[in-house]
Amino acid sequence: MMIARWHIDARFGHKQTVIDALKTWCGDIGEQVGWSAEMLRLTTGSIGALESTIELEVTVQDLAELNDSWTKLGAIEAHKQWSKDLEPHIVSATPRWEILRVV
C-alpha cells in the first residue's frame, strides 16, 4: 500500500478558497479517476508545518494504480480548467507530490 500526498501552498488570505476548491475537486474529479472519499484525506499545516500548506492524501495499492489515476487525470478537461481556476490562489511552483510506502 502507498500514500500519495499532493502538497499545495495557498497565497496569503486564500487558504479557505483552496480548501474549498480541493473539496469540490475530490467529489467532482477525484471520483472520475477512482478515488473514493474513503481513499482521500485533506490536511493543512498546524504546528511545525507551514500554515499555508494544504495536502490532499490518497491511499493506493501500488505505483501502477497511481499512474493509471494520473493518466486519467490528464484526459479530464474539467481537471485542466480546475487547475487554471486554482492558479491565482496558490503560490507558484509549490504544488508537488510525495509518495510514501506503508510498512
Q: Report the amino acid identity of residue 78.
A: A
The pLDDT tens digits of the residues spanning 36-93 come to 999 999 999 999 999 999 999 999 999 999 999 999 999 999 999 999 999 999 999 9
- Picking from 41, 58, 61, the residue whose alpha carbon sits closest to that of residue 1 is 61
Please tell me the predicted confidence (pLDDT) of residue 61.
97
Decide: 15 and 52 in contact? Cβ < 8 Å: yes
Q: Which phi-psi region, left, alpha or beta, contains residue 34 (left: φ > 0; alpha: ψ -120 to 50)?
A: left
12-33 residue pLDDT tens: 999 999 999 999 999 999 999 9
Question: Structural domains in the chain?
Answer: 2-101 (3.30.70.100)
Q: Grid coordinates 473514493 are at which residue?
A: 36
Instruction: Give me the pLDDT at residue 67, please.
Output: 97
> pTM for this structure?
0.90
Kindly calculate the radius of gyration of the chain based on its CA atoms and give it in whole angstroms: 13
